[in-house]
Chains A and B, each alone.
Chain A
Amino acid sequence: MGETKAEDRKYRVSKSVLALLAILMLMVIAAAVYVVPRYGKVFSAFNEQRKLYSAAKTDLSKAEKENAELKKQVEDYEAVKSETDAARDEVYAMAAQLEKDIIDGKSDKKICYITIDDGPYNRGKDFIELFNKYDIKATFFLTTANGDKLPDQANLTARSMYPEYLKYGHTIGNHTYSHDYSKGGVYKNAKTFIDAVEKQQEFTKAATGGFTPKIVRFPGGTSMAADQLAPIQEALRKAGYGWIDWTIDSGDSFGGDDAKADKILKKVVKASKDPDQKIMVALFHEWSKESYKAMPQIIEKLSAEGYIFLPLFYDSAMVKK
Chain B
Amino acid sequence: MDKDDKNKNPEQNKTSRHTWIGDEEEVRKQEAMTERRTYTLSPQATRIVQKQKKKYSGFITDEELENSDIIKIEDRKTTLVNKEDISQTRIYDPFEKQGTEGEPEDKGKAQPKSRYITITVSDSAKFKRIIALLAVFLILIAFEVSYFVLKSYTGKIPAETQTAKTQTEQIVAENEQLTEQIGQFNSKDEMKELKESWERLKQKIGNTE
Residues of A within 8 A of B (CB): 1-5, 7-16, 18, 25, 28-29, 31-32, 35, 38-39, 42-43, 45-46, 49-50, 52-53, 56-57, 59-60, 63-64, 66-67, 70-71, 73-74, 76-77, 80-81, 83-84, 87-88, 90-91, 94-95, 97-98, 101, 106-107, 109, 135, 137, 163, 167-169, 208-209, 308, 310
A63, B171: Cβ atoms closer than 8 Å:
yes
Nearest CB of chain A from residue B105's CB, rounded to whole Å? 15
- Number of A-B residue pairs, CB cutoff 8 Å, is 183
Residues of B within 8 A of A (CB): 19-21, 36, 38, 49, 51, 70, 83, 86, 90, 115-124, 127, 137, 140-141, 143-144, 147, 150-151, 153-154, 157-158, 160-161, 164-165, 167-168, 171-172, 174-175, 178-179, 181-182, 184-186, 188, 190-192, 194-195, 197-202, 204-206, 208
Q: Which residues of B contact A13 (CB under 8 A)?
A: 116-119
Q: Which residues of B contact A94 (CB under 8 A)?
A: 202, 205
B157, A50: Cβ atoms closer than 8 Å:
yes
A60, B118: Cβ atoms closer than 8 Å:
no
Q: Give the complex CA separation of A63 and B167 in angstroms.
A: 9
Q: Give the complex CA separation of A101 and B127 in angstroms.
A: 110
Q: Give the complex CA separation of A280 and B192 in angstroms.
A: 29
Q: Which residues of B contact A87 (CB under 8 A)?
A: 195, 198-199, 202
B205, A42: Cβ atoms closer than 8 Å:
no
**Among the listed A5, A10, A39, which residue makes an inter-chain contact with B119, where contact means beta carbons less than 8 Å apart?**
A10
Contacts A81-B185, A94-B205, A98-B208; is A10 near B127 (CB within 8 Å)? no
**Among the listed B140, B200, B204, which residue makes an inter-chain contact with A32, where contact means beta carbons less than 8 Å apart?**
B140
Main secondary structure of the interface of A (DSSP, over half): helix
Nearest CB of chain A from residue B117's CB, rounded to whole Å? 6
Q: Give the complex CA separation of A168 and B191 in angstroms.
A: 8
Contacts A42-B151, A101-B208, A169-B197; is A7 near B122 (CB within 8 Å)? yes
**Among the listed A3, A74, A106, A167, which residue makes an inter-chain contact with B178, where contact means beta carbons less than 8 Å apart?**
A74
Name 27 A/B residue pairs within 8 A (Cβ), A-sorted: A1-B21, A1-B49, A2-B36, A2-B90, A7-B124, A9-B120, A11-B118, A11-B120, A13-B119, A32-B143, A46-B153, A53-B160, A57-B164, A60-B171, A67-B175, A71-B178, A77-B188, A80-B192, A84-B191, A84-B194, A90-B202, A91-B205, A94-B202, A167-B190, A167-B194, A169-B198, A209-B181
A77, B198: Cβ atoms closer than 8 Å:
no
5 more A-B residue pairs beyond the given contacts A63-B172, A74-B182, A80-B195, with a C-beta to C-beta distance below 8 A = A1-B51, A8-B121, A9-B121, A76-B188, A95-B205
